[in-house]
Structure 1
Amino acid sequence: MPLPTALIDTLSAVLGDGWRTDLDSRTAHASDDSRRQQLPAAVALPQTRQQVQALVRACRAHGVPLVARGAGTGTTGAAVPVDGSIAVSFARMNRILDVRTADRCAVVEPGVLNGALQAALAPHGLFWPPDPSSADSCTVGGNLATNAGGPRAVKYGATRDNVLGLVAVTGTGDLIRAGGAYTKASAGYDLTRLLIGSEGTLALIVEATLKLAPRPQAQATVRAFYRDATCAAAAVSRLMAQPAVPAVLEFMDGRSLGLLRRHGIDLPEAGALLLIDAEGSDETLPDALAAFGHAAEGDGLLDLDVATDGAARERLWAARRALSPALRSIAPGKINEDVVVPVSRIPDLVAGVEALADAYALTIVVFGHAGNGNLHVNLLYHPDDADETARAHAALPRVFELALALGGTLSGEHGIGLSKRDFMARAYDPATLAAMHAIKQAFDPDGILNPGKLLPPLQTKC
Structure 2
Amino acid sequence: MNSQLPAPLQQQMAELLGDGWLSDDAARRQYGQDNSRRYALADAVALPRNIEQVQAIVRACRQHRVAIVARGSGTSSTGAAIPYQGGIVLSFERMTRIVALAAADRYAIVEAGLINAQLQQAAGEHGLFWAPDPASADVSTIGGNLACNAGGPRAVKYGTSRDNVLGLTAVTGSGEVIRCGSLTSKDATGYDLTHLLVGSEGTLALIVEATLKLLPVAPHRASLRALFVDVGSAAAAVARLMAQPVPPSMLEFMDRACIRLAREVGGADIADAGALLMVEVDGDQATLAHSLQAVSQAVRGDGLLSLETAPDEASREQLWAARRQLSPALRTIANGKINEDVVVPVSRIPALVAGVEALAAEFDLPIVAFGHAGNGNLHVNILFDPEDAAQTARAQAALPRLFALTLSLHGTLSGEHGIGVAKREFMADAFSAATLDSMRAIKQALDPDGILNPGKVLPA
For normalisation by structure 2, the TM-score amounts to 0.98
2:38 matched residue in structure 1: 36
Determine the C-alpha separation between the residues in 2 that align with 1:217 and 1:265.
28
Quick one: which amino acid aligns to residue 453 of structure 1? K
**Given that residues 41 and 83 in structure 1 are in contact (C-alpha distance below 8 angstroms), is that contact kept between their aligned partners in structure 2?**
no
1:359 matched residue in structure 2: 362
**Where in structure 2 are the equivalents of 1:54-203 lying within 5 Å?**
54-203=56-205
Q: Percent identity?
A: 62
1:7-52 CA distance string (max 9 Å, x none): 1111112212111101111111011100000010000011111111
Structure 1 unpaired stretches of 5+:
458-462
Determine the C-alpha separation between the residues in 1 that align with 2:209 and 2:72.
13
Structure 2 counterpart SS, 1:172: coil
Quick one: which amino acid aligns to residue 282 of structure 2? E
**Where in structure 2 are the equivalents of 1:447-462 lying within 5 Å?**
447-457=450-460
State the 1:82 CA deviation. 2.1
Determine the C-alpha separation between the residues in 2 that align with 1:2 and 1:177.
33
Determine the C-alpha separation between the residues in 1 that align with 2:18 and 2:263.
55
**Given that residues 15 and 44 in structure 1 are in contact (C-alpha distance below 8 angstroms), is that contact kept between their aligned partners in structure 2?**
yes
Quick one: which amino acid aligns to residue 86 of structure 2? G
**Given that residues 67 and 82 in structure 1 are in contact (C-alpha distance below 8 angstroms), is that contact kept between their aligned partners in structure 2?**
no
- Match of residue 261, structure 1, among 260, 263, 272: 263
Structure 1 counterpart SS, 2:286: coil
1:165-223 CA distance string (max 9 Å, x none): 00000000000010121000111110000000000000001110000011111100011
Structure 2 counterpart SS, 1:322: helix
Determine the C-alpha separation between the residues in 1 that align with 2:59 and 2:7.
16
**Given that residues 3 and 84 in structure 1 are in contact (C-alpha distance below 8 angstroms), is that contact kept between their aligned partners in structure 2?**
no
Determine the C-alpha separation between the residues in 2 that align with 1:109 and 1:262.
43
Determine the C-alpha separation between the residues in 1 that align with 2:12 and 2:333.
51
State the 1:397 CA deviation. 0.8
2:445 matched residue in structure 1: 442
1:70-125 CA distance string (max 9 Å, x none): 00011000001123310000001110111001110000000000011111111100
Quick one: which amino acid aligns to residue 39 of structure 1? L
For normalisation by structure 1, the TM-score amounts to 0.98
Greater alpha carbon shift after TM alignment, 133-142 vs 13-22 = 13-22
Structure 2 unpaired stretches of 5+:
none
Quick one: which amino acid aligns to residue 313 of structure 1? R
1:460 matched residue in structure 2: none
Determine the C-alpha separation between the residues in 2 that align with 1:260 and 1:451.
40
Structure 2 counterpart SS, 1:387: helix
Greater alpha carbon shift after TM alignment, 312-321 vs 234-243 = 312-321
* RMSD value, Cα: 0.7
How many residues align structurally? 457
**Where in structure 2 are the equivalents of 1:408-423 lying within 5 Å?**
408-423=411-426
2:406 matched residue in structure 1: 403
Determine the C-alpha separation between the residues in 1 that align with 2:240 and 2:196.
32
Structure 2 counterpart SS, 1:78: coil
2:210 matched residue in structure 1: 208
2:385 matched residue in structure 1: 382
Structure 2 counterpart SS, 1:289: helix
1:309 matched residue in structure 2: 312
State the 1:266 CA deviation. 2.3
1:427 matched residue in structure 2: 430
Determine the C-alpha separation between the residues in 2 that align with 1:413 and 1:430.
24
State the 1:261 CA deviation. 2.6
Give structure 1 regions of 4+ aligned residues with deviation exceeding 6 angstroms.
none
